[in-house]
Structure 1
Amino acid sequence: MESNKDYTQIPGWGIDANPEDEPNYPMKNYTGDDHKRSNWERPAQQVQTVEILKSNERPALSAVFGTASPPTGLSGMIRRHAFKYSESSYGHWLPMLLADRINVVEGIIEDLAEGIIPNLFAEHGMKSELKFNKAGLAKKVLVRAAILGVVVLCLTRKKKRKSFF
């Protein structure tokens, strides 16, 4: 494999080959350091104090990472499952979306368990919705009320059926 091929004839390739041809060159005090990054030293590894989920496409943890909300509960189980798949697959991202939604419900349950009543009206931006998007807010409320009505109807019908047997 040749490494000395000239790619400058391909539109867009090799645009960073000339340091004086950078878009910010005249405005920036150019030191040449931008083109000497091959010898950088990896930062010290952050100490892992909680479970960190990492992509199966990375050989090791990033040098630094967030530890604010480690995976817990049902959403954590779903996240652990999702990280078994490549980040380019639906097997990774769809479970991650589901885990996010479940994590919201887990947070509400956790707040209630601690005696904190969540202000869902404020936390969901309903004040702004009421001010700037009244039609959208009305649609959301009606759709959620319809879903809740169907769920309640289904649950009450099951109870009535069970009483006959």
Structure 2
Amino acid sequence: MKTSHEVDPHSHQHHHTGHTDKFQNDYPEAPPRPTREQLAHINGWGADLDRKDRPGVPMERTPPRFIPEPSGKVTQQEQNVEVLVSTERPGITPIFGTAQPPSGLSGAMRRAAFRWSENDMRHWLLLLGADRVNVVEGVVEDLAKGKVPNVLAEMGIKSEWQYNKAGLVKKVAIAGAVVGTVAYLMRRKER
């Protein structure tokens, strides 16, 4: 009986001696994995190893709490504002949000979006566009009420400057380049 290294001289298989050894020598072994002690300097590393280090442990229970499922059918919420419903789900869900009913141009865009299925890109692009239009509508509404919105503060510029200066500088540079290019093209078009 032949071992796996012996080759029958009459077979058509050729044995290349040293090929595998040479290949393995070209790639050194992977470095050993670091030990727990070597990784201990990383803040939060290994928090899942010891139960007392888990953030949720004081709230956890073993066995977990038994929370019974609600019995019976959920009572249908009263509908006193327009609620947009997906074409995939016939009828309205038992509970829904009423804080931001569709209104204005953004509302018209949302109504148009809900004519298409959720797997249609037009649905999502219209909803994204409606969100942007809604931001402008909010600024106009604030100005109409005599309130000047602090757009920079609402954009988080202070926090961005405090925690991500390089990112903020990059964003300002890109915005400046875009505005400059648009101004240049508009001026060139006038000539």
TM over 0.5: yes
**Greater RCO, 1 or 2 (C-alpha within 8 Å, sep 6+):** 1
Deviations 1:87-108 (CA, angstroms, capped at 9, x unpaired): 2231211211111111111111
1:77-123 per-residue CA deviation (whole Å, 9 max, x = no partner) reads 11111111122231211211111111111111111121111111211
Q: Which one has the bigger helix percentage?
A: 1
RMSD between aligned alpha carbons? Answer: 2.4
Provide structure 2 residue ranges, at least 5 long, that are not aligned to the other structure.
Answer: 1-59
Shift in Å, 1:26 = 5.4
- Can you list the C-alpha shifts for 1:45-102, whole angstroms capped at 9, x where unaligned? 2121111111111111111111111111221111111111122231211211111111
Identity among equivalent positions (%) equals: 49
- C-alpha distance in 2 between matches for 1:59 and 1:126: 43
The corresponding residue for 2:183 is 152
Partner Cα distance (1:85, 1:142) in 2: 38
Structure 1 residue ranges without an equivalent (≥5): 1-23
The yes-or-no answer on 1:27 pairing with 2:63 is: yes
Query: TM-score, normalised to structure 1's length?
Result: 0.69
C-alpha distance in structure 2 between counterparts of 1:156 and 1:113, whole Å = 32
Q: How many residues align?
A: 132
In 2, the alpha carbon distance for the partners of 1:154 and 1:112 equals 30
Partner of 2:115: 84
Alignment of 1:1-165 (within 5 A): 27-28=63-64, 40-158=71-189, 160=190
Shift in CA distance, 153/49, structure 1 to aligned 2, threshold 3 Å? farther
Q: TM-score, normalised by structure 2?
A: 0.60
* Shift in Å, 1:30: 5.2
Contact 1:87–1:93 (CA under 8 A) maintained in structure 2: yes
Displacement after TM superposition at 1:134 (Å): 0.7
How far apart are the structure 2 equivalents of 1:50 and 1:151? Answer: 41
Q: Distance in 2 between matches of 1:121 and 1:30?
A: 47
Distance change (3 Å), C-alpha of 1:101 and 1:29: closer
Give the whole-Å Cα distance in 2 for the aligned partners of 1:111 and 1:154. Answer: 32
| Structure index of larger Rg | 2
